[in-house]
Structure 1
Amino acid sequence: MTAPTTGGEAKPFATKQKGLEDLSVDGAAVYWTVSDGKGGGAVMEAPLKGGAPTKLATMAPSDLGGPLGLVVGESHVQWVHSMAFGSILKVGKAGGGTTTVASKQRSPFGIAADAAGTYWTTFGAGIADGAVMAAGPKGGEPRVIADHQRSPWRIASDGKDVFWTVKGPPGAVLKAPIAGGASTTLVADVKDPTSIALDGEWVYWASDELDVVKKVKKDGSASVVIAESQKGPAGLALDATSVYWPNKADGTIMKAPK
C-alpha cells in the first residue's frame, strides 16, 4: 500500500504479493521479498511512480526457510535466504544473475549493508548461539563481529558501527565497531525488541510486546520515549523529521515526531 506521509487514503501499490516478508525503498523503486511457503520465493521490484512489479530473482523451493530480510544498496539488492544453513544473496537492481555473498550460515535473519560491506544476524543452533556477521563488498570469508548472542534479530549500520536487537531473553539493543572490538549494550533487559533504525545521533527501536517505540543515543547516554500504548509495533522507517511504524494488531500505520 501507499499513502501520503501527511495522511490520507491508502492505495494498493502492488497486488497479489502473497507471502510478503520484507520491504526496502530507494529514490527510484520499492523492493520486497515474497515467500512461497515452501522454502522458495522471489525478490520483486516496482518503480516508486507506479507500474507492474518485476521479478529480480527467483528461489526454488527448499527444505526449510525462504527469502526474509532485504536491503538495498547503490547498485545491488541483497537478501537473506534462511535455512538451517542459509545464504546471503545479491542481485543487480536491473536484474541479472544472483551472486552468493555468504553460505552455510546458521539460520540468518536480519541484514544491513553500507559501502564497506554486508552485515547480518544468525540465530545459530541454540538460544545463546547467535552471531552478528560481516562480509566485504566483494564477498570473501565471513567474519564474526559478535558471537554468543541470544536470538539476534534486526540489524543496521551507520558505516562506523553495527547496531542490532536481541530478542533474548533477556532482550537488548547493542552495537559493535565494524572494524572489530567489544560490543556495547545500549538498552538492557527489555522484552522482545524487534525493530531498529538509525539516524545521525540516535538508535530507534520498538518492542511489539511492550507496545513502545523509543530511541537511545548511539553512545547510550540518553533514552527517549517516542510512543507508548501501541498495538504491536513491528518495523520502523525514518525521514528527516518523523518515525513511522505499522501496528500489527490493528493494521494501522503510525507516525510521530523524532
Structure 2
Amino acid sequence: MDGTNVTQTLVTGASNPAGMAADTSAIYWADNGSHTIGRADLNGKDVEQAFITGAAGPRGVAVDKHHVYWTNSSTNTIGRADLDGRNVVQNFIVGASGPANVAVDAQHVYWANAVSGTIGRAGLDGQDVDQAFITGAAGPRGVAVVPGKGHGRKDPHGR
C-alpha cells in the first residue's frame, strides 16, 4: 500500500454509506440510507448491498474472524451476525447512547457513545457490558483498537 494505483470508486450503489471494515476476503459497510450492512469481495466484485437487512441507522461496522458488528444509532444498540450473514441479532448489545462507530479485538467489542460522551465495551459474547468504559469524551464519533497495544485499559492515553 504505497498510494499508487488508487481506485476512487470500488463499490457503487450504496445510498448513504457511513462506515467500513475489511477482513482478508471482503469489505463491509454500514448503509444508513437503506438500513443495511453491505458486503463485497476485496476487488469490489460480488456486491451484496443488502447483505444484512433491518439495521436501524447503522453508522459503523467492524469485523473479526467470526462475526460482523454494527451500530444501530436509531435504537441505541449494537448488532452482530455471522460472517456468512446468518444469525443476525440487531440488539446484540443494548443501552448504548447514540452509538457512532464500533471496533473489535480478540476479547472485546467497543463502541463510541456520541450522546453520552463515553466509549462502551463488552465481551465478544455480548456480556459484561460497560457503557462508560472510558468517560469524558466530547461526542466521540470513532473508536479503534490496535493489536498488541494493551486494549482494555481505562487510560485513554494507553499508559
| TMscore range, shorter length | 0.7 to 0.9
**SS at 1:180 equivalent:** coil
Residue 134 of structure 2: aligned partner:
227
Distance in 1, matches of 2:111 and 2:67, equals: 16
Where in structure 1 are there 5+ consecutive unaligned residues? 1-74, 76-92, 245-253
Determine which of 92, 100, 103 is the counterpart of 1:197: 103
Q: Which has the higher contact order (CA 8 A, sep 6+)?
A: 2
What is the Cα-based RMSD across aligned positions, in Å?
A: 2.3
TM, length-normalised to structure 2: 0.82
After the TM superposition, which of the residue ranges 184-193 and 108-117 deviates more from structure 2? 184-193
Over 3 Å off, 4+ runs? none
Q: Percent identity between the aligned chains?
A: 22
Structure 2 segments unaligned to the other structure (5+ residues): none
TM-score normalised by L of structure 1: 0.53
Q: In structure 1, what is the Cα distance between the partners aligned to 2:39 and 2:145?
A: 24
Tell me what 1:255 maps to: 157
Give CA-to-partner distance per residue, 1:72-119, whole Å, 9 cap, x none.
xxx4xxxxxxxxxxxxxxxxx331252643212111120111111110
Name the count of aligned residue pairs: 152
Q: Say which one has the larger Rg.
A: 1
Quick one: distance in 1 between partners of 2:42 and 2:122?
29
For residues 1-258 of structure 1, what are the structure 2 equivalents within 5 Å?
Answer: 75=1, 93-98=2-7, 100-124=9-33, 129-143=34-48, 144-168=50-74, 170-184=75-89, 185-224=91-130, 225-239=132-146, 240-242=149-151, 254-255=156-157
Displacement after TM superposition at 1:149 (Å): 1.7
